[in-house]
Structures are given as C-alpha cells and as structure tokens.
Amino acid sequence: MRSIVIDDDFTAWRAASLKALAEGLAPESIEWRVEQPPELRQGQTLFDYGESSENDMITPATVAVHVSKELGALIHDCALHCEPQRWAFLYKVLWRWQQGDRSVASPADEDGAQLYRMAKSVRRAKHDMIAYVRFRQQAQSSRPPEYIAWYEPEHDVLAWAAEHFAQRMGRSSWMITTPRGAAFWDGQQLHLERRHALPGEHRVDTEDEAEALWLAYYRSTFNPARLNETALEQHMPVRFWKGLPEGHLIPAMISEAKSGARRLAQASGVGELGGKSIPVEAEVAQPVRESPSSLDACRRCDLWRNATQAVGSSGPGEARIMLIGEQPGDQEDLSGQPFVGPAGQLLDMAIKRAGLSRERLYLTNAVKHFKWELRGKRRLHKTPGQREVEACSYWLERELETVRPTVIVTLGATALNALLREKASLRDYIDKPFEMAGSVGIATYHPSFALRQPNDAARDKILDEISNALERARELAESALPEIPNPTSKKLRQ
C-alpha cells in the first residue's frame, strides 16, 4: 500500500495522480491522505481543453491522460465536493479511464453515477451561493471592504463563486467569509484565504440604508393570508435564512400569520361576503387548552407567539443520561432541533471529551419555545422568566417520567431551577451530585457561558468543567447507582 500525501486541492491531486498513473499504481494500492493547503488557489484551471473533444493532460515526467471535455468538467466539479474520500474516488475514475474503460464516464456505471451525483450536488451548491450570498454595506467610516457577506456553502465553492462576484461587482471592495475560508476583492485583485471561523464570527454589524429599505419592502410583500410554508421553504430553503438579511423576519412573519394575522388579513374580505352570521362565545371558539396534547399546540405561556415552532427533545427515549438546557436559540428555533447552534457545537465538544456520544443522550430544554428580542436585525436570546419556566415544567415532568434517566445533567441555572422547581444557586450545586426522584442530578454550566468568556483559556476552563460533569454522569450511568451524598433530596412534584 502506497501512502500519498497531498494538499487538499485539485492541483496537488492532479500532479500526484499523473505520477501514480505513470508508475502504474492501481487505485486499491494507494492510501490518499490530505493536508490543508496554506491558501485556496485562485483560478485553478483543472484541465486545459483544445479544439478536439478529447484532449491531452500532459505533465512532463509523468503521463499523458486524454480525457473527454465532459469527464474533465465532472472531475472538476467533484474535486470541490466536501466528501473526504473524493481524491481516492477520482483517482479510481481516472485510472479506469486510462485503462480504456470509457464506461466510467457513463451515468449507467456505478462510479459514473456517483461522479454525476457528486458533480450535480456541487453545481447546485454553486448556484445556491450565487443566489443566496447577501452583501451588506459597512458603515461609511469603516475601512475596506465596503461590502461584507457571510455564507456557509455546502461544498468548497468559495473560490469559484468569488470569481463570479469579482467579475460582476466592478471596483467595489468586498469580502465573503465562510466557515472554511474567506475571499477578499480589493477592487482589482482577488485574495483567497483558508481558515476556520469561530462560532458567531459571522455576525456583521452594518449600517446599510438600502438593506433597511429592502426589509421594509420585503415585509410589505408578505401576505399572511396566503402563507404557504412548503412553497416558501422550497423557494428559499431554511438553511439559507440565517445568511439573508430578510431571514430573521421570516420566522416571525410565519408565526404571526399562524397566530392570527392570517385571519385578520382575510377578515375584510370575509366580512364583505353575504350570508347569515352566527354569534359564538369566545371561549367556545378558542378554548384554553390546559393540557395540550402536543407540544406544538402548547399555549401555556405566551412564548409560542414569536417562536417559529416548539423545539422538543432529541435522543433515545430509553437513554440513561438526560441533558437539560435552558431554551432553544435562534438556530434551534428555525430547525426544530435542540442544541444545533453555537452552544450546541461547544456541547458536542464537551460530550466528545467525556467519552460520550450525542446519539445516546436525551437532550431537552427547560423551556421549549425561543424567547427573543429584536436588536437591530438580530433575534437576541432573552432569558426565560420564572413564569415561563414554571409553565413549561408541564413538559419536562412528562419527559422525566417517560425517560426515567439514571443521571440528569442540568446545563446552567435555568435548567437547574426547572429541575428543582425552586430558585437555587448554581454555585451551591456544582460538583455535588444530588438525588432527584430516583435519578442522580448533576449541575454544570451552560455551554453558552463558555462562549461568553473573554479569551480561549477561560473558555476552555468552562468547557473542561462541563466535560468533567458529563464524564461523571457517564461513570454513574455505567455503574450500578452508588450511594451518593444527598444534601438536597427533592421530589418531582411537591
């Protein structure tokens, strides 16, 4: 087995492949390993094409490979796919082609079909990036770039899209940042840089008057009476909302439409219709549901009004460890899943460090709807009040009764208070497991507390604390329940 180490880009793979072909190395005898290149390469021309339909790909001291234009384009796109095994796969394709096996470029062939699938996905990602990148103008006083955009492409299409924008935006300077790299256009030249973004780094504060106008216009075109969520999400998939200036408006507009604006928008039209009217008592028309049968129908407090949806739990119902957070955040609210945003990413790191896997944990929140306030264009988290935590304990209790976890880990003070059903100081409970209606309770910090730390060292310290608590939870869950100190034994219902 030969190990070939390349930079994670097409140029390096191409050179190594031609050499390997010259040596006659079969695909199964190569292990492809990648290193991150120091920077993205701009304007990589993957194959050079002449007039004929088959062309030479020649590198001195290697080998000449004749590929069809179509295969060249497919390989070109596949090289941008996020699949880590793509280099080995593409070498196999090239090898088969070089052996004279032309069926490899056919969609009827197994490898050919995969090639088409991957290329199609990359082409869609290119199209999406062109369609959904939104530049925001920086404040007048700021230094260049004049326009900034944050975007999360599905594949490695930043360099491709950056050239597209460079050709279309004239001399205006701009920057596009993505989780894995950034492109900067100074009005004349394109600079590409590969790096990793931090959670929340993409937040861009701008004073963009055109954007304010655009938002006002967008709002005015929305007709709640004609809301069709499926069509809306088909035209503008949810995963793009967070990068769009109008994205933060959509959940609130949907939620308003569902909670009455739709009726109001229709009211005048309906009122003009003829026919007999039958008076109905308000309580009969809209009964107060004390025990809603499903979380989505919950009206026990007012938080549902401004949330996109209720966010339930994730993980198996028979999990031995239950983690309780505070409430869903912006991304959880949009996706309907707990802990998928920046705090969730940190939690995942702590889970991993503790030797646990997320799939085996039951994750839920003390409060199931996102509580937020609008600050500028952003929906900012607002800590839920005691009344909201109390109202939502209806759901938490049902989860505790159903899952009956061996260990319950509370993340942050709100979760601890929700579990104890009284106000307690997190400091008094940290590192002191307690008994809780047949389970062991372990209190630790919320991952967002780590996110708020001023530097990496402080952030790591909190992350360590959380992973230590989770490790303790794992040990307790794995062993038969040991005798534990019981300073604050509680019942679920008092």
| CB distance 328 to 370 below 8 Å | yes
Angle, helices 386-403 vs 413-420, to 10°: value is 70
Residue 366 makes CB contacts below 8 A (sequence gap 6+) with 324, 325, 326, 327, 384, 389, 392, 393, 396, 414, 415, 417, 418, 419
CB of 341 to ligand URA, least distance (A): 6
Q: With binding defined as CB under 6 A, does residue 332 bind ligand URA?
A: yes
Q: With binding defined as CB under 6 A, does residue 410 bind ligand URA?
A: no
User: Which whole-number Å values give the CA distances from 146 to 130, 143, 460, in the listed order?
Assistant: 19, 7, 35
Distance CA(333)–CA(302), nearest Å, equals 15
Q: Is 181 or 344 the residue whose CB approaches ligand URA more closely? A: 344
Q: With binding defined as CB under 6 A, does residue 417 bind ligand URA?
A: no
| CB distance 477 to 407 below 8 Å | yes
Instruction: Figure out which of the listed residues 145, 329, 384, 441 binds ligand URA, where binding follows CB under 6 A.
Output: 329
Q: Nearest 5 degrees, angle CA 91-CA 104-CA 54?
A: 85
Q: With binding defined as CB under 6 A, does residue 388 bind ligand URA?
A: no
Instruction: Figure out which of the listed residues 112, 325, 384, 441 binds ligand URA, where binding follows CB under 6 A.
Output: 325
Q: Is 112 or 328 the residue whose CB approaches ligand URA more closely? A: 328
Angle, helices 69-78 vs 110-132, to 10°: value is 60
| CB distance 477 to 471 below 8 Å | no
Smallest Cα–Cα separation from 377: which of 268, 246, 475, 479?
A: 246
Instruction: Figure out which of the listed residues 184, 339, 372, 395 binds ligand URA, where binding follows CB under 6 A.
Output: 339
Smallest Cα–Cα separation from 301: which of 292, 293, 410, 281?
A: 292
Give the number of C-alpha atoms closer than 13 A to the C-alpha of residue 14, restricted to the C-beta side: 20
Binding piece for ligand URA, criterion CB under 6 A, among 272-280, 338-346, 350-358, 395-403: 338-346
The alpha carbon of 225 is separated from its chain's Cα centroid by a whole number of angstroms, namely: 30
Q: With binding defined as CB under 6 A, does residue 8 bind ligand URA?
A: no
Q: With binding defined as CB under 6 A, does residue 343 bind ligand URA?
A: yes
Binding piece for ligand URA, criterion CB under 6 A, among 34-42, 258-266, 319-327, 399-407: 319-327
| CB distance 103 to 115 below 8 Å | no
Of all residues in the shown chain, the one whose CB is closest to ligand URA is 325
| CB distance 406 to 477 below 8 Å | yes
**Can the peptide bond before residue 245 be classed as cis, meaning omega within 30 degrees of 0?**
no
Q: Is 84 or 199 the residue whose CB approaches ligand URA more closely? A: 199
Smallest Cα–Cα separation from 465: which of 445, 483, 435?
A: 445
Instruction: Figure out which of the listed residues 121, 327, 417, 444 binds ligand URA, where binding follows CB under 6 A.
Output: 327
Q: Of residues 195-234, which lie at the interface with ligand URA (CB under 6 A)?
A: none
CB of 392 to ligand URA, least distance (A): 12
Binding piece for ligand URA, criterion CB under 6 A, among 44-52, 144-152, 190-198, 336-344: 336-344
Binding piece for ligand URA, criterion CB under 6 A, among 59-67, 170-178, 244-252, 323-331: 323-331
Q: Of residues 359-378, which lie at the interface with ligand URA (CB under 6 A)?
A: 365
CB of 398 to ligand URA, least distance (A): 18
CB of 460 to ligand URA, least distance (A): 19
Smallest Cα–Cα separation from 306: which of 254, 229, 236?
A: 254
Distance CA(266)–CA(253), nearest Å, equals 16
Instruction: Figure out which of the listed residues 326, 334, 413, 440 binds ligand URA, where binding follows CB under 6 A.
Output: 326
Q: Is 208 or 326 the residue whose CB approaches ligand URA more closely? A: 326
Secondary element (H or E) of residue 408: strand 407-411
CB of 396 to ligand URA, least distance (A): 13
Q: Is 341 or 433 the residue whose CB approaches ligand URA more closely? A: 341
Give the number of C-alpha atoms closer than 13 A to the C-alpha of residue 94, restricted to the C-beta side: 32
CB of 395 to ligand URA, least distance (A): 14
Token pair of 137, please?
């103008």
CB of 291 to ligand URA, least distance (A): 24
Q: How many residues in the shown chain lie near ligand URA by CB under 6 A?
A: 13
Smallest Cα–Cα separation from 317: which of 413, 243, 404, 431?
A: 404
Secondary element (H or E) of residue 409: strand 407-411
Q: Of residues 441-470, which lie at the interface with ligand URA (CB under 6 A)?
A: 448
Q: Of residues 131-150, which lie at the interface with ligand URA (CB under 6 A)?
A: none
Q: With binding defined as CB under 6 A, does residue 395 bind ligand URA?
A: no
CB of 328 to ligand URA, least distance (A): 5
What is the contact surface with ligand URA in residues (CB under 6 A)? 325-329, 332, 338-339, 341, 343-344, 365, 448
